[in-house]
Amino acid sequence: MKCFINGEWTSLNKQMDVIDPFDSSIIDTVPVATRAEMTTAIDYAVTGAQTAKAMPTHQRCQILRDVADLLLARSEKFAINIAREGIKTIREARGEVRRCAETIRIAAESARTIVGETINFDQMPGSENRIGHFSRNPIGIIAAITPFNDPLNLVAHKIAPAIAAGNAVILKPHTETPLSALMLGELFHEAKLPKAVLQIVTGVGSVIGDTLVTDPRIRMVSFTGGRATGEKIIARAGLKKIGMELGSNSAVIVMADADLENAVANTVSGAYWAAGQNCLHVQRILVQDSVYDKFKQNFVTLAKGYKVGNKLDEDTDMGCIITESAAQNIEELLTDALDRGADLVMGGKRDGTLFQPTLIENVPEGARLHQEEVFGPVSLLYRFNHLDEAIEILNNVDFGLQHGIFTKDLSTALDASKRMDCGGVIINDSGDYRIDAMPFGGVKGSGLGREGIKFAIEEMTEIKMVCFNI
């Protein structure tokens, strides 16, 4: 495929292969843009931002609605592509396409409700004859930088609210998974989005991503990815708005009074969805003492039935890791825990990019897996007696995206949700639950700002105040 620059599908000098990480087959090629080529895209975006700002709301709504319809009409083609270039099974990929259409529809509807407020100036003595209001306005050019694990829907979570809010956006999709984003770009083109409002430039993150981040004409960097990259970007960005959707080391608490069947089913799914390559991956599972053994047994029974393998087979439950070196990193974190004395309950084996669903327990203090994000199908079991103990373990990490708790007791649920340091608490589902309209984002090392269309629109607009002296 080609880059989408100034409304044209553009070939560039250098190309790279896009590879299926399951069998290393070449799916397609995409351009590798240089810094100068990215700068050219930013030049076009200056005009694109003027065009975007001048687009009436009804036009933005219509384009977004049309894109959602086009996507649903071609959903299987998109799902197959997600499954091939990325890490998801075909069934998981179909779910992502459905969610993406929903994300774009929510953006179309939200564009109608970007409103301001009137201000009571007469609250200040001497200002009795002032009236005024504030409005929310586009901020200009937004740089969107996205990860590999949801190569379509996380792209939509940036470009749909950016366009709904009247901005121009330049997207740099992940190096390993650029095709879903380019295919989505084709739909915006077909829906007649004016040129340079959306541009998609492929290449190496540390090169063209850095060009985007450091250019003073970019008014906001909306980033989803790893914490280390996020910190580099913040250090390089200068005076810009920043949205940071980073990783985590999420936990669920299973209380003794929980519906155990529900807790097991949701926790297994949260642990091994997308082969654990999910910012909401359930990495730490804290189970109350009296149900620990039963929970463990039922968890293992369910997870052992998982079929790992070819992402395109309908009966595959878990796909592969994005690259062999990423799979080796997961193995290294697991080996560190086992070498320190942790017990392997299930799994633990790697074959190329395939990694078995893995569960460990009795993980000694100091093991890296307590603190670091594994971003793979490895989870840790913890035993606790009292909720206080569970909350202490849960909060004792420098991440805080979303956690879950399973209990039938309302006051336990409310008490725990108050005390968890994170951006979202999910009760009676694992922390791996999300709809695209809810506020989403983390505290501590998990990020800055919130996505979820309405909330992203707030981040992607600036307030202007107008005051009349009558």
Q: So which residues are the catalytic ones?
A: 245, 279
Please state, in angstroms and rounded to a whole number, the distance separating the CA atoms of residues 419 and 430.
17
Which residue intervals of 359-467 are DSSP H helices? Answer: 368-371, 387-395, 410-419, 453-459
Q: Is the dihedral of CA 285, 280, 447, 207 positive or negative?
A: positive
Smaller CB distance to ligand NAD: residue 51 or 214?
214
Residue from 146, 266, 298, 358 binding ligand NAD (CB under 6 A):
146
Question: Where would I find the beta strands (DSSP E) of 340-469?
Answer: 343-346, 350-351, 354-355, 358-361, 378-384, 402-406, 424-427, 447-448, 461-469
Smaller CB distance to ligand NAD: residue 195 or 232?
232
Does 209 help bind ligand NAD (rule: CB under 6 A)? yes
Smaller CB distance to ligand NAD: residue 142 or 263?
142
The b-or-e profile of 97-117 (16+ CB within 10 A means b, else e) is: bebbbbbbbbbbebbeebeee
Minimum distance from residue 282 beta carbon to ligand NAD (Å): 13
Smaller CB distance to ligand NAD: residue 166 or 319?
319
Does 226 help bind ligand NAD (rule: CB under 6 A)? yes
Residue from 4, 299, 375, 406 binding ligand NAD (CB under 6 A):
375
Smaller CB distance to ligand NAD: residue 246 or 334?
246
What separation in angstroms does the CA of 368 have from each of 134, 144, 330, 335, 363? 48, 31, 11, 10, 10
Minimum distance from residue 223 beta carbon to ligand NAD (Å): 7
| Nearest Cα residue to 176 out of 362, 19, 350 | 19
Does 206 help bind ligand NAD (rule: CB under 6 A)? yes
Residue from 140, 166, 205, 376 binding ligand NAD (CB under 6 A):
205
Residue from 81, 103, 110, 149 binding ligand NAD (CB under 6 A):
149
Please state, in angstroms and rounded to a whole number, the distance separating the CA atoms of residues 370 and 377.
15
409 dihedral zone (left: phi>0; alpha: psi -120 to 50; beta): beta
Minimum distance from residue 154 beta carbon to ligand NAD (Å): 6
Number of residues that bind ligand NAD (CB under 6 A): 28
Does 211 help bind ligand NAD (rule: CB under 6 A)? no
Does 210 help bind ligand NAD (rule: CB under 6 A)? yes
Within 236-255, the residues that bind ligand NAD by CB under 6 A are 245-247
Q: What are phi and psi of 91, to 5 degrees?
A: -70, -40
Let me know: does 467 contact 128? Beta carbons within 8 Å.
no
Chain residues that interact with ligand NAD, rule: CB under 6 A? 145-149, 154, 172, 174-175, 205-206, 209-210, 213, 224-226, 229, 232-233, 245-247, 279, 373, 375, 401, 447
